[in-house]
Amino acid sequence: MMTGRTAATTEDVAKDGTVPRSAAVADRSAVRRGPLARLRLPFSRSPAEPAEHPDPPEPREPADRWARPRRWSWILAMVLVVGLLAGAVDAVFFSGLLSVQAVTVSGAPGPVVAKVLAVVDVPDGTPLARVDLDGVAVRVNEVPEIAEVEVARNWPNTLAITVTPRVPIAVTSANGRLWLMDRTGDPDLTVDVLPADVVVVRLATPGVGDPSTVAALSVVNALTPQFRSQVADLTARTPYDVELTLKDKRTVIWGEATDSAQKMQILPAVLAQGGSTYNISDPTLVSVR
């Protein structure tokens, strides 16, 4: 047995089997209650169901929020570095922290060391970094006994000077005075008394680069220490006319300063012969008279 609504719907069916539009619309709610009522179109929403929305995105931090602190850290680091550099420059070049507190001289005997210290002219307390090393070297080179000089900073507080003294090998007379000469031929220092361990050389124009001086000192360097003590003086009138006078008044004609090693080698045997004058200017043809 059908309900009243079902009966009414049945009555609405036409004899040809069609259902009027009004009847189809009236019966739409019955279709929704069937097995397909749970199916939904993708975008259909029931009025009773709330719309589903994804969670709202979290707010993003501004892009420069972290950049600003990083920039400040770099700025702070640069300020610290500049401050440290400024402090270091002040300590090295201006403060007394790294100043000259001692001057050392090595390579020379005591009297020469005293002369070197007298011309250094660097007051205590001068920042070591500001010392003019070249200027100090020039002043020390003016000491007659000094041949070479090296000046260095010995941190933190010492100025170190290393010198090479001249080694006199001859003494000559010039302008009424006696002058010591080293191997370079520079008459650098006057003496009042003839030293016992150097050779007296007689020259017209003694000095560095003078040909006769160069020849005379070349011969002096060739003499053995034992024979050198027998020499009273050496005369070089020209570079080709070197002559030795021995303390026993004998004369040795040396000639040029060539073949000096060979001449010195044969000289003891030549002097063993009787005579007063020995010509060894040609070591292969010796004459004695």
> What's the angle, vertex CA 241, arms to CA 240 and CA 242, rounded to 5?
110
Would you say residue 143 lies in a domain?
Answer: yes
228 assigned to some structural domain: yes
Are β-strands 170-174 and 187-191 bridged in parallel, bridged antiparallel, or unpaired?
unpaired
Task: Indicate whether 149 and 181 sit together in one domain.
Answer: no
Total number of domains constituting the chain? 2
> Is position 134 within any domain?
yes
Residue that terminates a domain, selected from 122, 148, 165: 165
Q: What element of type H or E holds 79?
A: helix 67-93
Domain termination site, one of 118, 145, 165: 165
Checking if the pLDDT of 146 tops 90, the result is yes
Q: Do the domain assignments include residue 277?
A: yes
- Calpha distance 101→127 (Å, rounded): 9
Residue 274 lies in a domain: yes
Cβ neighbours of residue 267 closer than 8 Å, sequence gap 6 or more: 227, 252, 278, 280
Considering the domain architecture, whether residues 268 and 193 belong to the same structural domain is answered as: yes
What ranges in 193-275 are assigned the alpha helix state H?
211-222, 225-228, 260-271
Question: What pLDDT sits at residue 75?
Answer: 76
- 161 vs 76, which has greater pLDDT? 161
Q: What is the pLDDT of residues 241-275, one digit of tens each?
A: 999 999 999 999 999 999 999 999 999 999 999 89
Domain final position from 131, 165, 199? 165
Query: If we measure between CA atoms, which residue out of 182, 189, 233 comes closest to residue 208?
Result: 182
Task: Say whether both 242 and 161 belong to one domain.
Answer: no
Place of tokens 């010509």: 279
Residue 183 to residue 267: CA distance in whole angstroms: 23
Please tell me whether residues 269 and 176 are part of one structural domain.
yes
The structure tokens 């250094």 sit at 120
Residue 67: pLDDT band (50, 70, 90) is: low
Closest listed residue to residue 253, CA positions, set 284, 223, 279: 279
Could you tell me the CATH number of the domain that includes residue 122? Answer: 3.10.20.310
| Residues 158 and 224 placed together within one structural domain of the fold | no
Question: Is 231 contained in some domain?
Answer: yes
Contact 277, 253 (CB under 8 A): yes
pTM: 0.63
Please indicate, yes or no, whether residues 114 and 140 belong to a single structural domain of this protein.
Answer: yes
Both 191 and 223 in one domain: the answer is yes
What is the model's pLDDT at position 46? 47
pLDDT one-digit tens code per residue, 187-208: 888 999 888 889 999 999 999 9
CATH number at residue 218: 3.40.50.10960
Of residues 163, 159, 128, the one with CA closest to residue 142: 163
Domain assignment present for 92: no
- Alpha-carbon distance of 101 to 158, in angstroms, equals 6
CA pair distance 157, 103, nearest whole angstrom: 9
Question: Is 125 among the domain residues?
Answer: yes
Distance CA 53, CA 172 (A): 117
Residues 161 and 174 in one domain: no
- Amino acid 232 reads A
Residue 40 sits at the vertex; the CA angle it makes with 36 and 41, to the nearest 5 degrees, is 125
Domain range spanning residue 237?
170-288
